[in-house]
Amino acid sequence: MRTQREDPFAEAAAEARRELVREIAAGGDLQDPAWRAAFEQVPRHLFVPYFYIGGGGAPCSSEAESSGEGGYERLWCEDPDPDCRRRWLEGAYLDRPLATHVRDGELVSSASQPSLMAGMLHALEVRDGDSVLEIGAGTGYNAALLAHRLGDERVTTVDLDEDITEAARAHLAAAGYHPVVVTGDGARGCPWRAPFDAVIATCAVASVPPEWLAQCRPGARILAPLSTGLIRLRVRDAEHAEGRFLHTSAYFVPLRGGGGGSPAPVVHTGGLPRRATDNELFRFLLTLTAGSLDPHEAYSLWQRERRPARERFGVTVSGEHQWAWLDEPEGPYSWPLGSPAP
């Protein structure tokens, strides 16, 4: 039985959590009873004792005002104003992402939208006894969900920033979870905890770090944000993996460290119709093919192929080569992904 520290918000949080779970389930993202139980029992508010929201109004208190950065206002669990504490608790259980680390006015880390997390965990297809590597510890909440489902000893989470991993450990302990939390370059994986049955990244990559494949068992799944989508790969061996994008969009903070590929170049869409540049699926194609197709070539392809959905795209990893493709890995449309770091 897991032991949580005394929590003055426990009763109100339990009701807010039930409402959040009902909302996520209504959207179809909690079909697995094991994952529903995890979301019902893991207290998200313990993982976000403070978070930042966009400014624009009067801050809750002088403490909140002094702690904000770059136009952000901080809501926190120990605010002397009870109305601000209420806003913090309500915000912790809204189905939305939360900015949790802001440095020099820039977002460094965030807590992902719970419904997106539920969809990603479902897509990971874990089974009892699986060992999972998470890239990007964040607040520790996702690791807690994994640990609730699989057990502490089956979960490893890695983050480059020591401040983030220390906070994640503290949040996990407060909630009664103790997976392995490692400070290190997520692109390098965690070889001393390998092999893994699944790898899930909560930060965006431009290509698939080869170390992830090398640390996976044959048949393992890799789920990672790439372009503005989520790629799910099935690992064949240490050098080969392949899979398709999920239907959903996904926007994550980029992976920081020595791997994961070079960032996609900035693309300019001047001269293209607004119906294209405003279309989320076209922006996905544009980002995926950046460096291989110019925007007008991408637009021609998008029109010719009848505005293809994400599920028609996939990624193949074969040794040192990685490429994205439309419909078939060896079909007429393919584009190299960013080169992995040496």
- Residues annotated catalytic, as ranges: 109
Residues 31 and 314: their CA atoms lie apart, in Å, by: 25
Separation between Cα atoms, residue 144 and residue 142, nearest integer Å: 5
CA 288 to chain CA centroid, Å, is: 18
**Cα–Cα dist 209/128, whole Å:** 26
Distance CA 160, CA 162 (A): 6
Q: Do residues 248 and 119 touch, judged by C-beta distance below 8 A?
A: yes
User: What is d(CA 165, CA 181) in angstroms, rounded to the nearest whole number?
Assistant: 7
Q: DSSP code of 254? A: B
Residue 163 to residue 10: CA distance in whole angstroms:
26
Burial of 224 (0-12, 13-18, 19+ CB in 10 A): buried
315 in Cβ contact with 329 (< 8 Å): no
CA–CA gap between residue 74 and residue 64 (Å, rounded): 5
